[in-house]
Structure 1
Amino acid sequence: MLEGMDGGLVAASVGPYGAALADGSEYRGRYGLSVPALRDWHRPRLEVLADACPDLLALETVPDADEGEALAGAVAGLGVPAWLSYTVAGDRTRAGQPLAEAFAVAAAVDEIVAVGVNCCAPEDVGPAVALAREVTGKPAVAYPNSGEGWDGRGWTGGSRFRPVDAAGWIAAGAGIVAGCCRVSPADIAALSRAIRG
């Protein structure tokens, strides 16, 4: 858990710009917009959510370091803590930028209290969490998807989400662990048991 934020917290979700386009670009990034244009697009949404008084803002499933930078700028001064999590492929954002550069955009932003990854393959979590801690010195968040693929018609492959892996994520610096797409309620129950011992 993040220091000073114990149990029962409500995080308001702020997804990527690409989700509004409904063309799958939320998993690719590189929208053709500048950092200031993305910041201007996100800021009104963040203000509305901040006015609702959540405990945290979850700036999540961000595919692109430019959008991460825009969100970091937009959340500054809102008075609500936030985490920033990227969707990744290996050691890069979905847009192809090195994760170290992506995490670095949050390092000096006081409102961003944690950084990490979500909606990524489970095997990408450990190295990303360790890098997030190294680059920012902040706690990490880790909530991968099941690892299944999507071919445009349906889900392919089997789940690779293993709740026992959470111990390694926590050891690497994750203060919040959970699951994203295709992680089932049974997986979350097993995750809870694995974390609590």
Structure 2
Amino acid sequence: MLSMSSSVILRDFINQNKPVILDGGLATQLEAQGFALGGDPLWSARLLHTNPEAIKDAHYRFLLSGSDVVTTATYQASVEGFVQHLGVTCEHARELVMSGVCLAKDTVQKFITDNKTGQTQALVAGSIGPYGAFLHDGSEYTGTYAKEMSVEDLKCWHRPQMECLTAAGADVIAFETIPSIKEGEALVQLLREFPNTEAWLSFSCKDERCISDGSLFSDVVPVALKSPQLVAVGLNCCSPDLVEPILDSAKFLLNPDLRWVVYPNSGEGWDTQKGWLSPEKTTGSLAQYCETWRKQGAAFIGGCCRIGPAQITELRQVLKGSTQ
């Protein structure tokens, strides 16, 4: 597995593998493996405590599908959340967050050992979701909570998770599904406290120009430009058909040191009370869009909710011509 001892190594990996193929929805794959996660305030993070082998199995399936990156099962993990919902100590809660990185690293090493395909590197992205994911009320797609919180409040909330993921050795941090410009600013400031760490910053969006809190995407990209530690900025968990126009709205801001990261969901409707509105899961196809995203400057491309290993295989075949 690739050991990220410096930013040069990470950026070399990106340049040598562009576009870097991300994985898909971890919870989607875990549900395909038979786990009922809906309604759980810890979502897939609960399995860090109850069934870590299932998480490793899911990571392995995405690596088999051609992912260059596996993302930890920590999107909805937090020290406070584990203490509240599992009844564990703060120390144990920190160990659980760190275990997400260890499970992913172990899986990458096993995959490389098992499969003599020539692949010798894969990244582990430490997932940090928005504060709204902890609230478990759908506000991760609105960012309304940020109106009542300061930048310092948000930094304090995210700091324990950041400490755990960096201490465990995540290759890169994935700030995911961030709904507000204020929370994006908080994460950029927090990243400075970890000078040897790099990250990408990915927002949720509401339409073809705006992120979820109504801020223009072209106004949030400059927040990312403040940090030389950010290797990419973009969006995730939105409909695939929103990606091209929202990236186009900020194309004048793209530069060689900052790239786009995109990993939308399947495009199906979501209701915070009812869940996915399609009666049955449909196949999310990113392959019809991904070449356009690459031409727009996307260096990281993958999928989010309702995107499984089969769709990542298809994505890789379009962009790179093979699964490995």
* TM-score, normalised relative to structure 1: 0.92
User: For the residues of structure 2 that align with 1:108 and 1:100, how far apart are their CA atoms?
Assistant: 14
Q: What's the counterpart of residue 100 of structure 1?
A: 218
Aligned to 1:156: 277
Q: Which gives a bigger RCO, structure 1 or 2 (Cα 8 Å, sep 6+)?
A: 2
CA displacement, residues 53-72 of structure 1 (integer Å, 9 cap, x when unaligned): 11100001101111000001
Match of 2:262 in 1: 142
Equivalent position amino acid for 1:16 in 2: P
Aligned length: 196
CA-CA distance at 1:33 after TM superposition: 0.6
2:314 to 187, 190, 193: 190
Match of 2:230 among 107, 112, 115: 112
Q: Which moved more, 1:33-42 or 1:114-123?
A: 33-42
In the alignment, which residue of structure 2 is the partner of 1:51?
167
Deviations 1:164-193 (A, max 9, x none): 210000000100100000112211111111
Report the residue type matching 2:169 in the other structure.
Answer: C
Q: Specify which of 190, 206, 213 is matched with residue 89 of structure 1.
A: 206
Q: 1:196 to 1:82 in 2, by over 3 A?
A: same
Instruction: Report the Cα distance in structure 2 between the residues aligned to 1:61 and 1:132, rounded to whole angstroms.
Output: 18
Deviation digits for residues 7-29 of structure 1 (CA, Å, limit 9, x no counterpart): 51110000000011111111110
Confirm or deny: 8 A CA contact 2:141 2:204 kept in the other structure.
yes
1:178 corresponds, among 290, 302, 308, to: 302
Inter-CA distance 174–20: structure 2 relative to 1 (3 Å threshold): same
Stretch moving more, 160-169 or 34-43: 160-169
CA distance in 1, matches of 2:12, 2:220: 26
Secondary structure, in 3 states, of the residue corresponding to 2:233?
strand
Gaps in structure 1 of 5+ consecutive residues: none
Q: Please report the RMSD computed on the Cα atoms of aligned residues, expressed in angstroms.
A: 1.7
Contact residue 15 and residue 60 of structure 1 kept, 8 A: yes
How big is each residue's C-alpha offset from its partner over 1:60-100, in whole Å with a ceiling of 9 and x where there is no partner?
Answer: 11011110000010111411110000011221111111111
In the alignment, the residues of structure 1 paired with residue 298 and residue 167 of structure 2 have an alpha-carbon distance, to the nearest angstrom, of: 28
Residue identity matched to 1:139: R
Decide whether the 8 Å contact of 1:10 with 1:55 is kept in 2: yes
Q: If you compute each CA radius of gyration, which structure gives the higher value, 1 or 2? A: 2
Greater alpha carbon shift after TM alignment, 126-135 vs 87-96? 126-135
Q: What secondary structure, in the 3-state scheme, does the structure 2 residue paired with 1:38 have? A: helix
Bigger Cα displacement from structure 2, 166-175 vs 95-104? 95-104
**Mapped pair 1:62 → 2:182:** no
State how far apart, in whole Å, the 1-side matches of 2:126 and 2:240 are. 23
1-structure distance, mates of 2:199, 2:251: 16
Q: Which runs of 5+ in 2 are unaligned?
A: 1-9, 15-120
Q: In proportion to residue count, which structure has more helix?
A: 2
Aligned-residue offset at 1:128: 2.7
Does the 8 Å contact 2:284/2:311 carry over to 1? no
